[in-house]
Amino acid sequence: MSAAGRLPGSVDVAIVGSGPNGAAYARILSEQAPGSRIAMFEVGPTVTEPPGAHVKNLVDPAAQAAAERRSQGPSADAATLSSPAAVVAGRRQARPGTFLLPDGFAFDGEDGLPAVAMSSNVGGMGAHWTCACPRPGGSERIPYLPGLDELLTDAERVLGVTATALEDAPFAELIRRRLSAAIDDGRSPATRVQPMPLAVHRRADGQLVWSGSDVVMGEVTRSNPHFTLYDEALVTRVVVEQGRAAAVEVRDLRSNEVSTVRASFVVVAADALRTPQLLWASGIRPAALGRYLNDQAQVVYAARISGADTTIEPPAAGAISQHSGVSWIPFTDELPYHGQVMQLDASPVPLADDDPVVPGSIVGLGLFCAKELRWDDRLEFADDRTDSYGMPAIRVHYKLTEHDHRTLDQARDEIVRMAKAIGEPLGDVPITLPLGASLHYQGTTRMGESDDGTSVCGPDSEVWSVSGLFVAGNNVIPTSTAANPTLTSVALAIRGARRIARELRAEGAQP
């Protein structure tokens, strides 16, 4: 332990952030370099048991709400809304478990990201996500990365991904059959309507368990005597010595004491906003830092299933029913959006009042649109102004292009066609959610094939300008995507973790 209290004096690997990507580094290192000393630092508190579990696994609604409030960082006492569509009505409130930028999210002449959000808790956004894990396709894939499919397969292993968790959902086949008849023509078999791969499993008692960082870490990490998770620990700087990451400075938020923790390797997995923020605060400022920021503009709609018997008894104790399952419409380069279809009472975006709602009878549809990548879509950091954690304040510069608007128009037309195929559309027109509502921010520490000034890190996620420093998260993805990005970012984290494990073994850090 360091003189400052509970934090260590030195480790082999320091991981900043406890979301699925930081957890993937801890998992692979525990498997492939089991003797290495690993410290994980998380700015937020532990809100579940086991640490990092998905809050949807908390059966008690009051316990779930309490965990979500504690995840909201500086906005723990702020009111939240279950629908990001509320921003459309002029209310700017975060979804449960998250908090918004207080300012700096938009500037004159730009679209900005008014719904851009973060969470601060053990497990990060992995405690609150929808667990959708589709594989990237077409131009979403990273063309210069060898072995991508094997990495994606291993990411499915650590995330616990399956396409069969909801295979018994009684309306799923009906919905997919209707959607397929409407949109599958001309699509390749791999891009036709199909069950959504989900990071979900069903226990022997029938209870669904949603994957959080606890599942990613697995028992191999939890039982690793050389791994320690430090919650309420804010990393304020990566220390660089002679061009190599050498330590992290950590403020213990319980005691307010500051420690310098020496490390052979540093992994920053603090989300797409705070990872580049930490690099900036550390004086690590490559030209591409914060650049190529991209979100997935989202169009949502709802339909009532028509012409079918939907009179199924609701589940006991108010649990979410799974009558409609979750269906997937894969991205294609010709149709540059990705579709997610689920029953409304399982959707994070309630769109209709239906009293009473017959479980599974109202289906929510969402299309995520790929963004045209631009250098000028970026995060900026203030050297003279700080956020609630004392870190450089974040400013967002973001604008939709004419191409982006055409994609959105196409998605609006397509989602209406999909709703009509399912049954009776609800509402006059689909809703285009405020930018940032997807929570799928990417590109701000993007990967590149070579150090040509347009990327922050190389194919192993090591920062070009600082050896031993790795970045992780959706922010590493260099391509424009429409699919949920977590599976891809975890695959990239696995590649980076394998690289560190190889170097630790070569350096003799293992017994």
- Which residues form the catalytic set? 440
CA 45/CA 204 separation, integer angstroms: 31
DSSP, collapsed to helix, strand or coil, labels residue 37 as coil
Q: Which residues pair with 182 in a beta bridge?
A: none
- Tell me the β-bridge partners of 118: 99
DSSP three-state, residue 328: strand
Identify the DSSP state of 34. T
Phi then psi for 244, rounded to 5 degrees?
A: -130, 140
Q: Which residue has the tokens 């190529």?
A: 292
DSSP letter at 458 equals -
Residues 274, 390 contacting (CB under 8 angstroms): no
Query: Which residues, in sequence order, are CB contacts of 485 under 8 Å at separation 6+?
Result: 440, 442, 474, 477
* Contact (CB, 8 A) for 432 and 425: no
Q: How buried is residue 189: exposed, middle or buried, by Cβ count under 10 Å (0-12/13-18/19+)? A: exposed
Question: Distance between CA 212 and CA 199 in Å, rounded?
Answer: 8
Neighbours of 199 (CB within 10 A): 29
> Which is nearest to 40 in space by CA: 509, 472, 502, 491?
472
Q: What contacts 57, CB < 8 A, 6 or more positions away?
A: 48, 209, 210, 212
Q: If you write DSSP's letter for every residue of 247-305 in order, what string do you get?
A: EEEEEETTT--EEEEEEEEEEE-S-TTHHHHHHHHTT---TTTT-S-B--EEEEEEEEE
Cβ proximity of 75 and 96 under 8 Å: no
What lies within 8 Å, CB to CB, of 84 at 6+ separation is: 95, 115, 349, 433, 434, 437
> Residue 115's CB: how many other CB atoms inside 10 A?
27
Which residues sit opposite 261 in a β-bridge? 248
Query: Long-range contacts: 455-462, Cβ < 8 Å, 24+?
Result: 455/288, 456/276, 456/279, 456/286, 456/288, 456/289, 459/144, 459/145, 459/495, 460/495, 460/496, 460/499, 461/492, 461/493, 461/495, 461/496, 461/499, 462/496, 462/499
